[in-house]
Structure 1
């Protein structure tokens, strides 16, 4: 199963940064890359922030997406 998700926020800031290597945004980016996915984080239209993670579907035994 694969898919994508988006999360918009009110502009509040957290303590994690893109390069912290833990459970913050850097960790999310690393985990998305491990499964061949994409990660994007930036300002949202109208203020706040937008986080987008997209992951591919797993291939079935025949090589086609499930």
Structure 2
């Protein structure tokens, strides 16, 4: 299953809240993400960003 975490577009009343989409019907995406879940998702994404950033090939950013 692939799960996509998105964010409500700015300018909407519920802006800055997370959204979920999935490649499978196993995940109930019809129920909105609540405030606590939003914070949990943001914390998880921050952790993933740290791990992924640490593993980037620095050579790929060097200009020659």
TM-score under structure 2 length normalisation:
0.29
Task: Report the structure, 1 or 2, having the larger helix content.
Answer: 2
**Higher normalized strand content (fraction of residues):** 1
The structure that has the greater radius of gyration is: 2
TM, length-normalised to structure 1? 0.28
